[in-house]
Structure 1
Amino acid sequence: MNGAAYFERMAQYNLWANTRAYGLCAKLPAAELDAPRTAFFPSILCTLNHILVADRIWMSRLLGSPVAMPLNTILYENFDELRHARVAEDQAIIEFTNGLTDAVVTADLTYHSVAGDAYTMPRNLILAHMFNHQTHHRGQLSNMLIEAGAGPLEIDLVFFARDQLG
């Protein structure tokens, strides 16, 4: 699998994993989504917002029209609105990766961090980071869901592969 195809697959996995994560979250009472938790971000809702914020920041950089916002921005306080926005972002990520070529994937991109520092690195590292970052925080989300009584997320990449490949 070449570089562009790999990121197409990761975008599909991202949608699959987020669909399952949001499905499990939807079974919780609203109070559980806002309840204080021990993680990088203080609640399930805050964590879900952070993942969306980071995706929007990285995608805006990749698309050449950067947006800046604090990483703890709450885009949506309402879970259903957040879920709708997540689905739209996942679709945008899929559309973006479907248009990638190996030449684009390996080309450098210069961007400014949230702190304003300039960095240049290959897009494949940026894309790998974006998908890895989501996985990192979904791992925290899984623990928070266990604490809330919803059970763990079963979203390992191999489960996606088994589901997709039969």
Structure 2
Amino acid sequence: MKKYFLKLYQYNYWANKRVLSALTSQNVSDEKILSIMGHVVAAQYLWLHRIQGLPPAEVKLWGTYNLPQLVSMAEEIGTRWLQFVESTDNFDRELTYHNYTNDPYINNVENIMIHLVNHSSYHRAQIALLLRQNGFEPINTDFITYDRVITGQWKD
């Protein structure tokens, strides 16, 4: 599973950077777009802190973030997730935690990690739609595009 999660989180890091680069290059300041991207990044903080048994991350799940903040946060949390995956050998364990509204749950860490990347992809798709609706050009963040980039078949 380690190899799988490493690839999955390398992809997620790449996709987030790609979206943020597109937002930056097009000077996107739309509040809804930035709010959704903030949600993506904040969720990555919240889940990593839960999994690592750290105090709750000081981020707002639906907070107000500007583009430079998002770029910085995405870089930090993307790097931290990769470090976690690289330093962990067993993801198959149960995690007892409270969600953002303090409801108690127990989930397998592997399932949480898969969920988080799917969650990020879902919201990046929303961002792509909003970009198009607002006259901006969305960016391709499909996993197969990532695979083509890292295998040298497609120029990023």
TM (normalized to structure 2)?
Answer: 0.89
1:131 to 117, 126, 131: 117
In 1, Cα distance between equivalents of 2:24 and 2:134: 12
64-73 or 145-154, which deviates more: 64-73
Report the Cα offset of residue 133 of structure 1: 0.7
Which stretches of structure 1, 4 residues or longer, exceed 6 Å deviation after superposition?
Answer: none
Matches within 5 A, 1:46-57: 46-57=35-46
| SS of match in other structure, 1:120 | strand
In 1, Cα distance between equivalents of 2:26 and 2:142: 22
Matches within 5 A, 1:103-114: 104-114=90-100
The one-letter code of the counterpart of 1:128 is I
Give the paired residue count. 151
Report the Cα offset of residue 152 of structure 1: 2.3
The one-letter code of the counterpart of 1:33 is S
Give unpaired runs (5+ residues) of structure 1: 36-42
Change (3 A) 1:70 1:15: closer
Question: In the alignment, what sits opposite 1:152?
Answer: 138
Contact 1:57 1:66 in 2 (8 A): no
Identity percentage over the alignment? 28
Once the two structures are superposed, what CA deviation does each residue of 1:28-54 show, in whole Å capped at 9, x if it has no partner?
A: 33xx4235xxxxxxx111111111111
Give unpaired runs (5+ residues) of structure 2: none
Report the Cα offset of residue 150 of structure 1: 2.4
Whether 1:100 aligns to 2:98 is no
